[in-house]
Amino acid sequence: MSRSRFHTCNLCEAVCGVELEVEANAVTRVRGDGLDPFSRGHICPKAAALGDLASDPDRVREPLRRVGDRFEPVPWDHAVAEFVERVEAVRKQYGPASVALYVGNPTVHSHTATLMFPFFARALKARSKFSATSVDQLPHMLASLEMFGHQLMFSVPDVDRCDHLWILGANPYASNGSFLTAGNVRARLEAIRARGGRITVFDPRRTETAEHADEHVFMRPGGDAFFLLAVLHTLFDEGLTNPGRLRSFTDGWDALRSIVSWFSPERVAARCGVAPDKIRALARALASAPRAVVYGRLGVCTQEFGGVAAWLLNALNVAIGALDREGGAMFAEPAIDLLRVSAAIGQRGHYDKFRSRVRGLPEFGGELPSATLAEEIDTPGDGQIRALVTFAGNPVLSTPNGARLARALPNLEFMASIDIYRNETTRHAHLILPTSVGIERAHTDLAFYLLSVRNAIRYANPAVDPPSGVKSDFDVLSLLALSLHESRSSAKDRASALALRAARALGPRAIVDALLRAGPYGALRPENLSLAKLEAHPHGLDLGPLRSVLPARLWTANKRVRLVPDVYARDVQRLKNALQNERESPGSLVLIGRRQLRSNNSWMHNSLRLVKGRDPCTLLVHPEDAARHAVATGDRVTLRSRSGSVTVPVEVSDEVAPGVVSLPHGWGHDDPQSQLRVARAHPGASINAVTDDHLVDPLSGTAALSGVPVTIEPAP
Ligand SMILES: Nc1nc2c(c(=O)[nH]1)N[C@H]1C(S)=C(S)[C@@H](COP(=O)(O)OP(=O)(O)OC[C@H]3O[C@@H](n4cnc5c(=O)[nH]c(N)nc54)[C@H](O)[C@@H]3O)O[C@H]1N2
Ligand SMILES: Nc1nc2c(c(=O)[nH]1)N[C@H]1C(S)=C(S)[C@@H](COP(=O)(O)OP(=O)(O)OC[C@H]3O[C@@H](n4cnc5c(=O)[nH]c(N)nc54)[C@H](O)[C@@H]3O)O[C@H]1N2
Ligand code: SF4
Ligand SMILES: [Mo]
């Protein structure tokens, strides 16, 4: 007997509603939930693999302990006891900086993990914390903190109402939107053009999104900050700024004008690859559109000047009056308002309170840049990392110079991974502790409705049961946290253990219910949201279009936008130096990445339905560069950088600009110690064996994954 269950796809930020056909606890069919008012039945090919994850024979289903190169099952209580004993031994011997935590991307796609994580992190007492943030959205968070006073105060392009959209360094046709939670983002972008609007894409590759835009401008990798400065320069120069009502609660207008005055289109043209006249024409078109908005994402963040570039995106949206305006860059008001919740517990964010030991890179929100993880493990000295816990992360494939990290991990005295797979990272762990997967747990989103183009909310109960012996992430994290506290005798640990027991007794359901009732559509509002009400609406609820919320929703002490925070004003000197020291280097190549619709970072390649067919892990090379290096489509080349090399097949294509080569990320499943049989048969090569841990945006500490200098030569 099959039954139908409504759930939410937790694989990307689009949070599509899905209808799962379930028979004997196995998913037999996945469809889009046509009654979801937000995603309206849309899904992408990855949704079909939701069931594959749950039933994957390679999935870790019981705690595993590594003995040499072999893993053997251990009962939960033994595993937990060993975890506590070994972490505590390292911490006592070498101090709190010797214990590290790496938190990966799927964590934010699980509200239960998100809710328990602060408790776990406190119990672990890890001074050295890392996450996927610093290979991703950190520049946006820094800009939010510095300009709006809260690290989670993100604006969202109002794609449903804008008429002129700039997209820099994002490819929503493949990624389904990032910091742009929108069911069926393609249809929403197409609607802009259908109503007479215009889309311009700035990208070193003519992406799927660029193909469907009105105009594509080849951006030189790392050129965005320069380009944006010159656009602002033009707007001031030609009297085209129009901040409107923003002016009354924005500080720093003159400082901005004075900074951008140096960056004329002529000065930056070579660095960004856009001609001076073109920059001026683009700026004028942006300024003259009634509902224009500038949106930039990953490609703008993970580059040498990502910090300044993310700031300038906001500054430009202020300058054209788009911030907080319908059809502009708006702020969502989610039913569970993580902004208020985190502010209430004193977590609005902080920056540069301390620095990393080896390279002196700044912390953000208590985390250090992931680009420093390997060197913090392999560089001897006081404070060296000796123990590492990973949660839902695969930094060997996802952080720069992952090969160095893979060489460093065996030197740890203890490593534990809380993960569903034994993969390129977790196979180094002494203990692997499994958890349930998305469709086996209840689902709602705490982060993504904050990034959503409409206010919306959806809650789903588990669609299938986890395998016997597999615990939820909430239970694994709380169990470990409680055991850590109980192993210590301080009054503080006893108090924390008490608080933790209370949170466990409540459970995630009651916590979600309380957050909903206390939220902006809660008990005192007409919507009167509660968990019961969401359960009575299994397709989710639309809570209306985004509304103007400034200045009330600002978190700065004076309720004003800081247009030019000091950190950026100082970093601009680095951009001037870069322009002045620039040398022509004809024939040189830089590497960028790319995302593909059927792939999800590094961990969905064990689903045959997603990886079968033609090898997607090819190096795109422009025809001129291919001719210069005498390589053709199908040839294998060695792609080399300062940090390492891989051998990859070439695909000659004028999609990429001359001087740019592109390889997708998340591949490189050739580690014989992993347990990923399908992925190992479709291994590809890891771009992060070639990206460089030394290349970061020093302001934010974000890895410069894009624009890595490389060479290619025919493979032997
Ligand atoms: N199918 C699929 N969807 C995903 C993911 C996935 O792996 N696969 N991952 C998810 C995650 S974790 C995230 S964070 C989001 C990211 O979602 P997006 O931000 O849309 O990320 P990408 O698709 O990588 O697009 C980044 C673009 O930046 C371009 N680029 C590179 N360097 C530069 C530069 O210097 N300047 C400019 N202007 N552009 C540059 C690249 O060519 C690329 O087209 O996607 C999410 N969705
Ligand atoms: N060169 C290059 N590198 C990149 C990027 C790029 O564009 N180019 N993109 C970057 C971005 S945006 C991101 S977000 C990072 C991602 O970097 P990471 O978060 O480090 O890696 P993922 O590939 O997302 O791996 C997720 C891990 O979580 C596990 N997992 C999956 N579901 C669950 C679950 O429900 N519970 C638990 N406990 N574990 C689970 C998987 O088995 C896997 O080990 O990669 C970054 N790296
Ligand atoms: S776009 Fe695809 S991966 Fe993203 S939530 Fe929807 S179905 Fe899942
Ligand atoms: Mo990401």
Residue 350: CB atoms within 10 A of its CB come to: 14
Q: How far is CA 101 from CA 93, 156, 529, in A?
A: 18, 30, 35
Pocket test for ligand 2, best of 129, 398, 641, 662 (most atoms within 8 A of CB): 398
**Which candidate, 170, 303, 374, 296, places its Cα nearest to that of 709?**
303
Residue 45 alpha carbon to ligand 3 centre in Å: 8
Q: Taking 90 as the threshold, does the pLDDT of residue 586 lie above it? A: no
CA of 461 to the centre of ligand 4 (A): 25
Distances (CA, A) of 214 to 57, 165, 289: 46, 10, 15
CA-nearest residue for atom 25, ligand 1, is 170
Ligand 2 lined by 105 (C-beta under 6 Å): yes
Average pLDDT, the chain: 97
Q: Is the pLDDT of residue 357 over 80?
A: yes
pLDDT over 80 at 215, yes or no: yes
Q: Residue 444: pLDDT above 80?
A: yes
Atom of ligand 2 minimally distant from the CA of 688: 1
Query: Is pLDDT above 90 for 529?
Result: yes
In terms of C-beta density within 10 A (0-12 exposed, 13-18 middle, 19 or more buried), how is residue 644 classed? middle
Is 45 within 8 Å of 598 (Cβ atoms)? yes
Name, in order, each residue with C-beta under 8 angstroms of 498's C-beta and a sequence gap of 6 or more: none
Range with the poorest average pLDDT among 344-348, 455-459, 492-496, 553-557: 344-348
Atom of ligand 1 nearest to the CA of 168: 38
Q: DSSP label at 519?
A: S
| pLDDT band, residue 583 (cuts 50/70/90) | confident
Q: Best mutation site among 6, 7, 11, 607 for ligand 3, i.e. most ligand atoms within 8 A of its Cβ?
A: 11
Give me the phi and psi of 32, to 5 degrees please. Answer: -70, 145
| pLDDT tens-digit series, residues 604-651 | 999 999 999 999 999 999 999 999 999 999 999 999 999 999 999 999
Instruction: Give the atom of ligand 3 at the shortest distance from the alpha carbon of 11.
Output: 3
> d(Cα 199, Cα 189) in Å, to the nearest integer?
8
Task: Compute, in angstroms, the gap from residue 71 CA to the centroid of ligand 4.
Answer: 30
d(CA 359, CA 223): 25
Say if residues 435 and 418 touch (Cβ distance below 8 Å): yes
Decide whether any atom of ligand 2 lies within 6 Å of the 54 Cβ.
no
- Burial level of 536, CB count in 10 A (0-12/13-18/19+)? exposed
Ligand 1 binding pocket (C-beta < 6 A) is: 12, 105, 136, 168-172, 174-176, 178, 202-205, 207, 219, 221-222, 224, 297-300, 303, 592, 594-597, 599-601, 666, 706-707
CB 689 within 8 A of CB 668: yes
Say if residue 584's pLDDT is above 80.
no
379 touches 369 (CB < 8 A) = no
Q: Has residue 696 got a pLDDT over 90?
A: yes
Report percent pLDDT > 70 for the chain. Answer: 100
- Is the Cβ–Cβ distance between 119 and 498 less than 8 Å? no
DSSP SS3 for 353: strand
pLDDT, one tens digit per residue, over 5-48 is 999 999 999 999 999 999 999 999 999 999 999 999 999 999 99
Encoded tokens for 181: 């939670």
Name the DSSP class of 181.
B
What pLDDT was estimated at residue 1? 79
* The domain over range 155-330 is classified in CATH as 3.40.50.10310: no
Nearest ligand to residue 691 Cα: 2
> Would the pLDDT of 402 be above 90?
yes
- The amino acid at residue 115 is L
> Cβ(702)–Cβ(625) under 8 Å?
no
Q: What is the pLDDT of residues 102-120, one digit of tens each?
A: 999 999 999 999 999 999 9
CB 398 less than 6 A from any atom of ligand 2: yes
**Binning pLDDT at 50, 70 and 90, where does residue 585 land?**
confident
CATH 2.40.40.20 fits 580-714, yes or no: yes
pTM of the model: 0.98
Segment (H or E) for 81: helix 76-94
pLDDT (average), residues 320-348: 95
Return the amino acid letter for 94: Y
Banded pLDDT at 323 (limits 50, 70, 90): very high
CA distance 80 to 476: 9
Residue 592 has pLDDT above 90, yes or no: yes
Distance CA 567, CA 362 (A): 12
**pLDDT tens, position by position, 66-103:** 999 999 999 999 999 999 999 999 999 999 999 999 99
Q: What angle do CA 264, 267, 268 make, to 5 degrees?
A: 95
The domains of the chain are located at 155-330, 580-714
Give pLDDT, residue 626.
98
